[in-house]
Structure 1
């Protein structure tokens, strides 16, 4: 079982790498330090690569033999995602979630780290390098914010409100134009829609009750595993669009987070439907 002592060790690794490999490069990247992956908005930087390598090395020193699934490593070895279903212990890393923002000098990015065991997420953290605060959850133990000064406070999701009072986002950047237009139009039924282009910040907002819902169609594990556990441990409901639980290894089916099941269904029916299977 991954316990509080273990998550403390993982948090120490993430914070150290943020301080040594990520923040020194923020707003200091040269043209040669940024490259496109699949498109002009899908980027990788020198910070992503070096931070992932440093986190991986440190995790393996602490937990030899663990499976490491990193976003950048999976560019060349996507089969590693499949290993999450059976691995006794695995770490899933997104060293700089929100790379487009990071490369643009926008201080909205974070580090995601999830811990899985035999196809179940057992711990997760989202670290905010700019301020040094971190959201942390161990399965069954609730969710908390660990501030840079080590002060700790419990977190919880937003109270239930009507659709017209909800604030949230559905990520549509990877959808065809017609679907982007339809869902964006449906969001007008809510109080306010926002977009940070950063899963780490979106899960931070929904798990701490600052917004009511977030939704995504793309399900890469480094974007979602840590945030989903933190949101659930903060009292929220997260599931794929067909209502099934989101598990390590799932990469299709869409995902939606809300304060409770009724709110979840409301957003699905009035904002996302009818394209639930995308």
Structure 2
């Protein structure tokens, strides 16, 4: 089943996203909110993915980003017994609309809010990340195992501060000179791809919407990394989907003053 869902994701990207890349008309791009874009490609891809998942897994629940924007009550379903699929049909919409290549499709299967399978697909690079709980993480069929992270002074990563609240923002800014923030691609899927291929050592986010981070959390964990809240809780999807979330490439015990652990 994991391969059939991967095939569905690839087919969706090839049918709905790639042909529209750098080919959108002005009226095919809208704002859901200030700076929050949606395109005809997002909607078409979500429709295809939702129908495909319902056909592959009869009786499942699908919570898509665009559907949840129209009906916020759908978020109440992410913690259900399952199976529940959370879908980001076009992660990095602003990049896509601007003609930048950093966009992805992301899907995760949840059981009571916990990711049990995950897929991230880069359509232009044709890179498929996938994982099952207890089964490891794979990139285009090759298993990925994360190594030990470097010391703080050599750590490179992404520290998103846009949605950070104090005291976390102040604590992070106080440490900013101690590590290298390479900046986000503005696409969580590509940020996770960079982490899992060793281009960066950590990712740090505050707003952890299920479709943005459930896939990456499982992919990182199954590759031997960590993904958790600052109090040590494992990542779990809930309706609020907020809370300081950090990922890195080895467990640290929570007291190491690394950039993913602002103390």
Gaps of 5+ in 1: 1-5, 147-151
Deviation at 1:183, TM superposition (A): 3.7
- Cα distance change on mapping 1:179 and 1:84 into 2, 3 Å: closer
CA distance in 1, matches of 2:116, 2:166: 37
1:135 corresponds to which residue? 129
1:219 equivalent among 200, 208, 212: 208
1:119 corresponds to which residue? 113
Asked whether the 8 Å contact 1:97–1:110 carries over to 2, the reply is yes
1:194 corresponds to which residue? 183
CA distance in 1, matches of 2:206, 2:246: 9
Q: Deviations over 1:181-224 (max 9, x none)?
A: 87456333114422211110111111222211001000100000
1:7 corresponds to which residue? 2
2:217 corresponds to which residue? 228
2:86 equivalent among 85, 89, 92: 92
Deviation at 1:179, TM superposition (A): 7.2
- Cα distance change on mapping 1:252 and 1:70 into 2, 3 Å: same
Asked whether the 8 Å contact 1:156–1:209 carries over to 2, the reply is no
CA distance in 2, matches of 1:182, 1:34: 37
1:45 corresponds to which residue? 39
- Cα distance change on mapping 1:185 and 1:37 into 2, 3 Å: farther
1:19 lines up with 2:14 in the alignment: yes
- Cα distance change on mapping 1:210 and 1:35 into 2, 3 Å: same
1:109 equivalent among 103, 114, 134: 103
CA distance in 1, matches of 2:48, 2:11: 10
Gaps of 5+ in 2: none
1:244 lines up with 2:233 in the alignment: yes
CA distance in 2, matches of 1:252, 1:57: 29
CA RMSD of aligned residues (A): 2.2
- Cα distance change on mapping 1:241 and 1:26 into 2, 3 Å: same
1:207 lines up with 2:196 in the alignment: yes
CA distance in 2, matches of 1:177, 1:47: 36
Deviation at 1:267, TM superposition (A): 5.2
2:60 corresponds to which residue? 66
1:172 lines up with 2:161 in the alignment: yes
2:244 corresponds to which residue? 254
1:157 corresponds to which residue? 146
1:149 corresponds to which residue? none
CA distance in 2, matches of 1:60, 1:70: 12
The TM-score normalised by the length of structure 2 is: 0.92
CA distance in 2, matches of 1:132, 1:194: 23
Task: Classify the secondary structure of the residue corresponding to 2:242.
Answer: coil
- Cα distance change on mapping 1:81 and 1:11 into 2, 3 Å: same
1:79 lines up with 2:73 in the alignment: yes
